[in-house]
Amino acid sequence: MKLDFPLFPDSASTFAPQLDGIYFFALAVSTFFSLLIAAAVLYLAVRYRRSEPNAVGKREKAGLWLEISWSVIPLAIMLFMFVWGARVFFDARRPPADAVEYYVTAKQWMWKFQHPEGQREINTLHVPVGQPIVLTMTSEDVIHSFFVPAFRAKMDVLPGRYTRYWFEATKVGTYHLFCAEYCGTEHSLMGGRIVVMEERDYEAWLGGAGSATPRIATGAELFAAKSCTTCHRPDSNLQAPYLEGAFGREAELADGSRVLVDENYLRESILDPTAKVVKGYQPLMPTYQGQLSEEELLQLILYIKSLDGGGPAGGAPTSEAAS
């Protein structure tokens, strides 16, 4: 048994001190009120201990002001915590514009990662220190949850849709990665490490991790290889919408409704094209369900996102709501 164990987790991301801040505040409030109640109960229970067997308590006095104050004061404190907590939460969900996108694919019971340059890793993720990183995550089977205590980072990873989470590591080192959502037999072994490195060490590591095709190039190749080009090209005689500049805009659907074109919408358009048909087009597109791996799908989406001419999009905030 290791006796020099920690009582508080490592703090290794820009977000960690932010979360710890509200946690310490809440902890102080909780400790104060717990001690207050405990002290009051003990004091009163001793002070008013029954004096003789038949004694009864005094009749209660009206306590309207007491009732009001011990409703309003806790409420005010809690509302303060609520606002603070919500702000911290939104910070954790809004990646900065310069965040670099990494892919995470979870499956029973491993984590697969892909770097922007195309390098792949399993259960270990190397990242540069001081660089905001946004993870686009999906699962191949059940729900998992990406959890790095030292970053105070947690986000569920779902099958059939993308969730995103961002962090910026501040301290070089190796940190635990856990799966926090119960996912079957080896749930507790579905862990790994996040290795935070200096920028140049990371570059060196990337170089040593073998040559790889950048994901965006793979996406472009797939776009041709999977014959998306037969329809989605200006010179195609088959009527299909142009995908240039589609990402981030609203698409108008055949039923008149409008949807935001985000990763989840693109995913659905490829896997289940008839679910949402673009206005003015026939539902001619075949489904690609089962023909693309999660990674290929992500690369295709990356390619489509890049089609607006402005290069690979990385850090646009997206809604995680069900599409």
Partner 1 sequence: MSSNETAPTNYLNADYGVRSWLFTVDHKRIAILYLIAVTFFFALGGLMAVLIRLELATPAGDLVQADVYNRLFTMHGVLMIFFFLIPAIPGVLGNFLIPIMIGAKDMAFPKVNLASWYVYMAGGLFAAWSMLHGGVDTGWTFYTPFSTAFSNTYVISTAIGGFLAGFSSILTGLNFIVTVHRMRAPGLTWFRLPLFVWSLYATAIVQILATPVLAITLVLLIAERAFRIGIFDPALGGDPVLFQHLFWFYSHPAVYIMILPAFGVISELVSAFARKRIFGYRVVAAASVSIAVLGFLVWGHHMFVSSQSPYAGVIFSLLSMLVAVPSAVKVFNWTATLYEGSVSWETPMLYALGFIGLFTIGGLTGVMLATMGIDIHVHDTYFVVAHFHYVMVGAVLMAYLGGLHFWWPKITGRMYPIFWSKISALLVFVGFNLTFFPQFLLGYLGMPRRYHAYPDEFQVLNVLSSAGATVLGVGYLIPLVYFFWSMRYGKRAGDNPWDAFGLEWETTSPPPTFNFPATPKVTLEAYDYTGRAEARLARTQPVRSSP
Instruction: Please report whether residue 12 would count as binding ligand HEC according to CB under 6 A.
Output: no
Q: 281 touches which of Cu ion, partner 1, ligand HEC, none (CB within 5 to 8 A by kind)?
A: ligand HEC
Q: Can you tell me the distance from the alpha carbon of 170 to that of 175, in angstroms, rounded to the nearest whole number?
A: 12
Element (H, E) at 270: helix 263-271
Instruction: Please report whether residue 238 would count as binding ligand HEC according to CB under 6 A.
Output: yes
Which CB, 140 or 268, lies closer to Cu ion? 140
Residues 6+ apart with CB under 8 A from 276: 251, 253, 259, 265, 268, 269
Instruction: Please report whether residue 1 would count as binding partner 1 according to CB under 8 A.
Output: yes
Write the single-letter amino acid at 139: S
- For 134-193, give the DSSP string: EEEEEESSS-EEEEEGGGTEEEEE-BTS-EEEEE-B-S-EEEEEEE-S--STTGGG--EE
Q: 300 touches which of ligand HEC, Cu ion, partner 1, none (CB within 5 to 8 A by kind)?
A: ligand HEC
Q: Can you tell me the distance from the alpha carbon of 217 to that of 117, in angstroms, rounded to the nearest whole number?
A: 10
Helix (H, G, I), strand (E, B) or coil at 158: coil
Q: Which of residues 171-230 bind Cu ion (CB under 5 A)?
A: 179, 183, 190
CB 179 within 8 Å of CB 106? yes
CB 183 within 8 Å of CB 171? no
Phi, psi angle pair for 64, to nearest 5°: -55, -45
Q: Which of residues 263-292 bind ligand HEC (CB under 6 A)?
A: 266, 269-270, 273, 277-278, 281-286, 288
Number of residues that bind partner 1 (CB under 8 A): 91
Q: Can you tell me the distance from the alpha carbon of 321 to that of 163, in angstroms, rounded to the nearest whole number?
A: 9
Least CB distance to Cu ion at residue 26 (A): 17
Least CB distance to Cu ion at residue 142 (A): 7
Nearest to 179 by CA among 92, 119, 91, 104: 104
Instruction: Please report whether residue 144 would count as binding Cu ion according to CB under 5 A.
Output: yes
Q: 200 touches which of Cu ion, partner 1, ligand HEC, none (CB within 5 to 8 A by kind)?
A: none
**CB under 8 A: which stretch of 157-165, 217-225, 278-286, 294-302 binds partner 1?**
157-165
Helix (H, G, I), strand (E, B) or coil at 70: helix
Least CB distance to ligand HEC at residue 230 (A): 5
Which CB, 13 or 323, lies closer to ligand HEC? 323
Among 133, 135, 179, 297, which residue sits at the site for partner 1 (rule: CB under 8 A)?
179
**CB under 6 A: which stretch of 69-77, 95-103, 112-120, 261-269 binds ligand HEC?**
261-269
Instruction: Please report whether residue 233 would count as binding ligand HEC according to CB under 6 A.
Output: no
Question: Quick one: tokens of 249?
Answer: 């805009």
Least CB distance to ligand HEC at residue 163 (A): 20
Residues 6+ apart with CB under 8 A from 209: 115, 119, 121
Instruction: Please report whether residue 168 would count as binding partner 1 according to CB under 8 A.
Output: no
Question: Which residue has 């805009």 as its token pair?
Answer: 249
- For 76-95, give the DSSP string: HHHHHHHHHHHHHHHHHHS-
Instruction: Please report whether residue 37 would count as binding ligand HEC according to CB under 6 A.
Output: no
Q: Which of residues 173-232 bind ligand HEC (CB under 6 A)?
A: 226-228, 230-232
Residues in the chain, total: 323
Instruction: Please report whether residue 173 would count as binding partner 1 according to CB under 8 A.
Output: no
Q: Which residues bind ligand HEC (CB under 6 A)?
A: 226-228, 230-232, 238, 240-241, 243, 246, 251, 261, 266, 269-270, 273, 277-278, 281-286, 288, 300, 304
Q: Which residues bind Cu ion (CB under 5 A)?
A: 144, 179, 183, 190
